[in-house]
Amino acid sequence: MAFSTPEWDLTLFKLINMQWRSDVLDVLMPIFSDRMLVWVIAIPLVLLAGIKTKKWRNLLISLAIIGAVVGATDLATNVVKDAAGRVRPNNAIAQSNYYSYNKSEWLQRPANFVQTDVSGSSFFSGHAANSMAAVTIAMLMWPKLRSFLWLLPLIIGYSRVYLAKHYPLDVLCGWAFGLCFSYLLWKVVLYRFAPDWGKNPKQPTS
């Protein structure tokens, strides 16, 4: 990989992935790490917002803006991933616990596991960056959205470490990138296209 894993990064990874485990988290973390979760959350919120405001056109424009931001964030993240080439922890750390979506079960690397991959796509987390970017833009367009939406990227990021897909540093950098990149896009260009929901308090809420 392009850089050595800092000691604190490895220590925190082992705590989250190997020690701070429970049967409940074993069930929840793969769900929060699944990309389908976005649709499960987004579809009811969109329907609720449309029913309350009746402003379907504005809503669709807003969703298109969020989709564009997430797409741009994902592309930029992949550029960084290819350049960094950091190996994912489940392919580098002995006794790391990881979830197989194909088998729908938890697996663990053996104690004598030796890394064979010379490059990977661990740095930084696309899940963390994309989820943070989506929530940031949503909050900029709809300031009255409930603040607990910020928990979504935090939980998603934590799940990526729990599943041994990323180190904590990957997630922290993903959050920071998603926040800064989406805010920059908003300030430079996207605010011009955001629909005006008016001064009427009837705005999409969670």
Sequence ranges of the domains in the chain: 27-192
Task: Name the phi and psi angles at 93, rounded to 5.
Answer: -110, 125
Residue-wise pLDDT tens digits, 34-74: 987 777 777 777 777 777 778 888 888 888 999 999 999 99
Beta bridge partners of 36: none
Query: How far, in whole angstroms, is CA 203 from its chain's centroid?
Result: 25
pLDDT band at 198 (very low <50, low <70, confident <90, very high): low
* Residue 59 · residue 45 · CB < 8 Å: no
pLDDT band at 18 (very low <50, low <70, confident <90, very high): very high
- Least confident range of 8-22, 90-104, 188-202: 188-202
For residue 201, pLDDT over 60 is answered with no
Least Cα distance to 183 among 123, 149, 126, 134 occurs for: 134
